[in-house]
Structure 1
Amino acid sequence: MATIELASGKYITSRAKILISLKKVQQQGNPAVVSNGSSVCSDPCSSHTVLDNYWRSTSYGSGSNCDSDKRGWYRFVGSGGERMPETCVPINRCNTHAPIWLDGSHPSQDDSIVTRISCAHWDGNCCRWSSNVQVKACVGGYYVYKLEGTPECSLTYCTDPAYIGDPCSCNADEVCKLVNGTWGCQCTQELNSFDISNLQPELDCGTDHIKISISKCQLETMGFQNIIMHLTDNGCFGFEERRNRTLVSVVTPTQAGQCGTQLTKNETHATYSNTLYVADGMVIRENEININFNCSYPLEMKVSLETAIQPIVSSLNISLGGTGKFTIRMALYQDLNYTSPYEESRVVLSTDAMLYVGVMLDDGDTSQFVVVMKNCYATPTENAMDPLKYFIIQNSCSNPRDSTVTVSENGVSAHGQFALQVFKFVGSHNLVYLHCEIHLCDVHAEACKPVSTIYGLHASWITLLVPVLMALACHAFA
């Protein structure tokens, strides 16, 4: 069993890696051979003349056009219609005197040419003049006609305005084909059925889920007719979805243990890994594909309240290349219940008021990680590195010198909450800037609830800019 990497053996960019193993017993068949002396005719579906005449429509009135010079293969396009009518057309229609229609049905299979009778209506006879017309249904949802001119003038080949545009709505890897009298989307045959380098799984590292998808057409061209897909836990199986391509996808929650997903962690990232199994039916004899995949989520993020120009609650998603992303949210609340955030774009607070600040991990693996506010402090400028700092929380504990500071939740859940009385720095500074350094703590591997000093993962910066006696303003900390 050979093991290769995606992108034709090239390395996988970012931290989202996929390895593919393929076991194949099936052998390629011999290509078709043209016998010596035989002639190869051009396909009329690719070699024809286009007629784009709106007045060929059966709804158009009288005229004097004559198609006596129309000899060869033609395709009708445009607003007048894209196929000939199959019923008798009244005289003085289609910009002519005697309109021509098709006496018979269009072919029900593609790749075959049928012969039909074309009739011209005149003098009370729906088939006053007739001639043979060859018709072929082409891949792409249209017909071509081999016309033989007209026996008299003025006679014109009509089109049916009821048939305009592509009869199919196919994806990028499909074509419109006629099968058993019905137009439908069929997979293209351009891919080499046995070329594994054409297999291109898609990996979506979502906030609360991981989805891996494979093109259904790619699998079918590789010989998979009854596609069975599942993860390590075979209860997590594949489903079909249509986007720009038809995909077969499997989804697992971003949580250790779900669908057989495993979690590994270092100081900067949490990585969730699983294996996708693809087979042709329940019994494997020919094709088997195993895809090992993982998504890495950074545990270091930045978020700030842009209160001056946006609502009071804001968020920022951080994604590194093809990695996943967790979302940290921050809000300024109206009271100690932490349930009613300020909705105004500007908030006026006095030095008698209390600030209620909440930080939360939005989605993500909340069964694995909790929010720890390590250091929260105020500065008179938006610069978090300003040497003048007033610590509200230091080493995960509240400032014992400020009796107004209370930390109601820290290191026990996906939320962090603290409160303090509004204050003002000495001097002409009208704004107080709050900065918080946080990290996501693994409850299964660390002691997360603060006691004195917490050591853990790299910090995340959260900046809240709070003015005193003025409207609330925010600025993102870069």
Structure 2
Amino acid sequence: MAGSGLLWLALTSCILTLASTSQHSDRIPRAAISHVQELSCGDPDTPEADDCFDPCENYTELDEPSRGTNSKERIEACDDHLSGWYRFQSDGGITLLEECIPMFKCHTDAPLWLNGAHPKLGEGIVSRTVCAHWVENCCFWEYEAEVKACLDYSRYPDDPDLFYVYQLEPTTNCNLRYCTDRNSTAIMCRYPECRSVERCSYRNKEWSCRCRKKYNDSEIQSLQPILQCGASEITLTIDTCLLGGLEIEELIGSLTNGKAVDIEPGSDTYSRNVIIPFDSFDYPDTTKNDAVYKDTITFKSTETESILLQVNFDCTYPLDYEVSPPNVLKPLVSPWIISVSGEGKFNVVMGFYDEDFKKPIEDDVIELPVDSIVYVKAKLKEGDRGHFKTVLRNCYATADIYPVDYPLIKDRSAQKEKVLMEQPSAKRRRQI
């Protein structure tokens, strides 16, 4: 009998080696990671002796989020039908909980929990007790279970996912149900890791970071939209979690006047840029010195047309600017340089032109006789040209030798006999 036992062990060892090689032959070679899988075989001298299989490769997936400890709804679910090896794969968790669970959690009356630690990788199949909590007794009913740690190479061959398979038996009483740890899902989202406003979620057989439904005050503050008051348009950057995590094609946005706004991808996967050109406004609010673009954007779902978010915004632009031409005048006799300096948000430019004000003179230094006629033009290069025109309110000539300003135009009035002002279009528009 001793010799027979040794022969059976040797034969089993040979079968296991061949089976393991066959199962992993189509995978990417892994030099840095090695793990000997333990197979479950039938008892010697029985018809099942040659039935060897790896539970890491032979299991039934349970995608049931209601098994999570966060499920509080009273539903009488029961596991009196389960029998075999299972892998938990859902938002509710991927492992059995290792602590006593309050009654009426996980969509059942008496939740089942694992009374013992999960095995480490390489420990093979271990036996554990599963307890059911009922009438203030954390182990009112007991069941036997087998557990094994496994590796899943399908997503990240160089950094495989750790998961567990469980051999579960049907419950003899109802309502009892195996309960999973909601927090165990975080390890499934590593590239990239989820942000604080997201959770690792299992949808359509894939793990990904999805927006949570509720946020605390600090998280809401981190989701504040970013407003950019640009020279040619207004841009609002919004986190997708404020928009229900919907894709661009699932969203519509509009101003209070009904005009739609463009929604574009942001600089990262979790942001959206809302582009608002100036002609989207009927007319900005104006004061003596400023123009204010103020409105509310309403975002809706294209499917349900329900309101997801409303954002109030306003951008203020000054109406007076000081600018300088990029080039200077250099008279042949008297070296005067005319310049005007300043700053602003609209892009206003100034330059020297021909007598028709069509062709700019782009030379860095312009040399011309002292008595020459000079044509100067200021224009709004970037800004709300639909509502505003540009005029010269004040214009000075400045010598680079003596810091003295020579007024040519003051308060829109010519200060010299040889200075002639030409107004912009005759259309009634507010003038800068």
Q: TM-score, normalised by structure 1?
A: 0.44
If each structure's strand is expressed as a fraction of its own residues, which one has the higher value? 1
Larger Rg: 2
If each structure's helix is expressed as a fraction of its own residues, which one has the higher value? 2
Answer 1 or 2: higher relative contact order, Cα 8 Å, separation at least 6. 1
Q: TM-score, normalised by structure 2?
A: 0.48
